[in-house]
Amino acid sequence: MKTLSLAALAAVVAFTGCTRSPAFRQDQEYTKSEPASYYSSAATTPTQRIESMGQPKKRVLVLNFWNNTPVRESEMGLFAAEELRRGLISTQRLLLTTEKSSLSTEDLIQGEKIKVAQLIREGRRLGVSVLIIGRVTKAIFRQRGDDVGLLRQKQSLAGADVEIKVFDVSMGREILALSRSGEASANSLVAFEGKSLQSKEYRSELTHLAIRNAVAPLIPEVVRGIEKMTWEGRIAKVAGTKVYVNAGKNSGLMGGDILRVLTPGDDIYDPVTGAFLGRSPGQLKGTLELVEFIGPDGALTEVHTGANFQEGDVVQLY
């Protein structure tokens, strides 16, 4: 009887030892069928999905917008640009440069054409991967409501149209062109003529709110467009086998990352018109391994393969 009990116990132990726990099975099912997301929908294999999630952050410069409306409100273009900067920073998926440009969007537009070559030069001078320009193309203000009575119900309405263009500085090309409209309204109970509703300050405040509502839906589209770009950095200094690059912890690089090094490529111009067409891809020179971070956003690397690396060479995540 005792022998039989021991045998039964051994059988139970053997059976339970080979059976996967519910938690284990749930974990396996989770890894096999991860819920769809922005990243997983774009990737077809686990390595592609993980690679897309780990792309370093791109450096972005937003130039002050052009107030291309008859409304002579000096802060309108600046306000629109600040709204876009604030929204992009809040995503924590891009690096907004603290460098200041002496140029605004208006400086880079001639008639219906954009001075792309000058724009790209400015982006490279400031060391950014992405440059964004924009303009407020329309701003209107209207009121409606009661015209008689001591106390009158009034509704103030403002509308604004905003458009932006996003440029890949390294390739010298436009990657996005977007436009959105926004509106804002306010209801008031006013006495007599309600002159405060006609004031410049009141109109400006409501118009700014309309601009904010136009810029807000642009932000996720801009982030998605920029994250599809290939990340690039630059070699800042070469000292023997030690190579310093202009990206590090803040950009999202990690110790042990392998970076491939390419020549900067050449600017291509139309031989007849002289128009800037873009930049040719660089030639592969070798690879570097990140060994140490320098400051808030720099890194020390060591030569992994190749040679003849120079300041200004392009680095990309391998």
pLDDT, tens digit (0-9, with 9 covering 90-100), for 151-167: 667 788 999 999 999 99
In a domain, 47, yes or no: no
Confidence of residue 91 (pLDDT cuts 50, 70, 90): very high
Within this chain, do residues 84 and 140 fall inside the same structural domain, yes or no?
A: yes
Question: For 205-238, how does the pLDDT look when each residue is reduced to its tens digit (9 = 90+)?
Answer: 999 999 999 999 999 999 999 999 989 999 999 9
Within this chain, do residues 95 and 210 fall inside the same structural domain, yes or no?
A: yes
CATH code: domain of residue 273: 2.40.10.410
- The structural domain count of the chain equals 2
Within this chain, do residues 150 and 73 fall inside the same structural domain, yes or no?
A: yes
pLDDT of residue 34: 41
pLDDT tops 90 at residue 292: yes
Higher per-residue pLDDT: 288 or 200:
288
pLDDT of residue 200: 83
Domain end (from 227, 260, 281): 227
Within this chain, do residues 124 and 191 fall inside the same structural domain, yes or no?
A: yes
Within this chain, do residues 223 and 238 fall inside the same structural domain, yes or no?
A: no
CATH code: domain of residue 111: 3.40.50.10610
Within this chain, do residues 176 and 199 fall inside the same structural domain, yes or no?
A: yes
Range of the domain at 154: 59-227
Q: Which range, of 51-60, 195-204, 273-282, averages the lowest pLDDT?
A: 195-204
The secondary structure of the chain, three-state, reads CHHHHHHHHHHHHHHHHHCCCHHHHHHHHHHHCCCCCHHHHHCCCHHHHHHHHCCCCCEEEECCCEECCCCCCCCHHHHHHHHHHHHHHHHCCCEECCCCCCCCHHHHEECCEECHHHHHHHHHHCCCCEEEEEEEEEEEEEEEECCCCCEEEEEEEEEEEEEEEEEECCCCEEEEEEEEEEEEEEEEEEECCCHHHHCHHHHHHHHHHHHHHHHCCHHHHHHHHHHCCCCCEEEEEEECCEEEECCCCCCCCCCCCEEEEECCCCEEECCCCCCEEEECCCCEEEEEEEEEEECCCEEEEEEEEECCCCCCCEEEEC
Confidence of residue 149 (pLDDT cuts 50, 70, 90): low
Domain end (from 196, 227, 258): 227
Domain end (from 195, 227, 259): 227
pLDDT tops 80 at residue 177: yes
| pTM across the whole model | 0.77
